[in-house]
Structure 1
Amino acid sequence: MNAITHFDFKSRSVRIVLDDNQEPWFCLTDVCKALDISRSSDLLQIQRGDVKNETPKRNGALDSKGVADYHTPTNGGIQKLKFINEPNLYRIIFRSNKTEALNFQNWVFAEVLPSIRKTGSYSARQSAYEELNRLCMQEKVSKDKGTFHSLGMHRRKYEKHLNAKRIQTCKANLQIAFEGVHHE
């Protein structure tokens, strides 16, 4: 599995890693905290299915193939934490009738999974970063033009003013976009 990415859900951090196939795995402890589930150990009582059809006997039971240990850096050092795959995440979300589960479900479906599937991160952040780079380059070119051409300081000041506003807007958008994500 790859490096851990932190996504914030209502001030709770949910650690996510991508496996070798770029499939997301979610830290079970973090998911339970976000969903206000007090005992994650109850979810780990995996019910084995029939040998014939391999379906879980208990509704909402986690599939053992979708639970893995991952050595994770924590405040207390490296610890072995349980991570669950996407289908198991859905099992937990769908079996809960709490408001937190619905909010979490909407967040995962609308932001996290589409973002991971499309780009491996929030695509809005990438485009905002690219826009900031473009504006910074435009500002440099504009400055060079003002130096090498005698178009006048008025045009240079106007371009500088416009670019400064655009750069501030991009920085604000980047700050908002990165507010919820922390990389280790």
Structure 2
Amino acid sequence: MKLEKNSLIADGFAHPKISQEHILNINSDNISVIRFEGIQVRIVKINNEPWFIAADICKALEIKNVTNAIKTLDGDENTLCSIKGIKSSAGLPLFNLVAESGFYKLITRSRKATKDGTFAHRFANWVFRDVIPSIRRTGAYGVPFGELNDLTRRQKQYKEKSSQRGRDLQACREEKASLQREERALWSKHQSDWVEEC
């Protein structure tokens, strides 16, 4: 990471400032999702390695402060990225990503993950009892990235298409209602006794 000029903190130590060139730019098509009991954890594949959206992991582990959680990780275990077309829960286009090793560290360091009955405990058990053994045995867990990405892309296309169809249908309904009003007006004007029969 480059240091910008005048980037000294009060004690005279260099403090790195992140510039735009250090933020990974990711396309939303490169995101896959795993789900556990209704919680989604988005995964981005970078150089064939999975990176997890920190806010999603923290939500699953019932950790309220994402920033504090990732501060405990090594520098190479987290990074910042922007994902085209998606904004974070704070409304910003930037996300903290956590490497696989950081993902496991967050789980093992979570206090709630050690308390029976908590969601975080069930999530940690799922990761350690189902996900990791499956990866060890088969080399993967669940649906492969390519297939998930294809499904995600097609779901997005469907949503866009169905939204457009919904707008078109609404426009058709409005047009139909307008034509019906126009028809009544014509009949009323030229043959008022027919309108009374209806």
Q: TM-score, normalised by structure 2?
A: 0.47
Q: How does 1:67-146 map to 2 (within 5 A)?
A: 67-72=78-83, 73-74=85-86, 79-98=93-112, 99-109=118-128, 110-111=130-131, 114-115=134-135, 118-119=139-140, 121-122=142-143
Number of residue pairs the alignment of both structures matches: 112
SS in 2 for 1:42: helix
Amino acid aligned to 2:46: D
Is it true that 1:14 corresponds to 2:41 in the alignment? yes
| Cross-structure match for 1:131 | none
- Matching residue of 2:63: 37
Shift, 1:120, TM fit = 7.3
Distance 2:109 2:126 in 1: 17
Which of residues 152, 166, 171 in structure 2 aligns to 1:183?
152
CA contact (8 A) 1:93 1:102 kept: no
Corresponding residue for residue 24 of structure 1? 50
% identical aligned pairs: 29
Residues 58-115 of structure 1, C-alpha deviations (whole Å, 9 max, x = no match): xxx2011111112223267881101100111111100112133332223223237845
Kept in 1, the 8 Å contact 2:131–2:141? The answer is no
Does the CA contact (< 8 Å) of 1:16 and 1:27 recur in 2? yes
The change in CA–CA distance for 1:183 and 1:115 in structure 2 (over 3 A counts) is farther
Q: What CA distance in whole angstroms lies between the structure 2 residues aligned with 1:113 and 1:30?
A: 22
Which protein has the larger Cα radius of gyration, Structure 1 or Structure 2? 2
Residues 34, 104 of structure 1: 8 Å contact kept: yes
Structure 1 residue 39: deviation in Å?
Answer: 0.6
Counterpart in the other structure of 1:65: 76
Q: Distance in 2 between matches of 1:119 and 1:35?
A: 22
Unaligned runs of 5+ in 1: 46-60, 127-177
* Alignment root-mean-square deviation, CA: 3.2
Q: Taking structure 1 as reference, are residues 44 and 97 closer, same or farther at Cα in structure 2, changes over 3 Å only?
A: closer
Runs of 4+ in 1 over 3 A off after TM superposition: 75-78, 112-117
Q: CA, structure 1 residues 81+113, in 2 after alignment: closer, same or farther (shift >3 Å)?
A: farther
1:120 to 1:108, Cα distance in 2 relative to 1, 3 A: closer
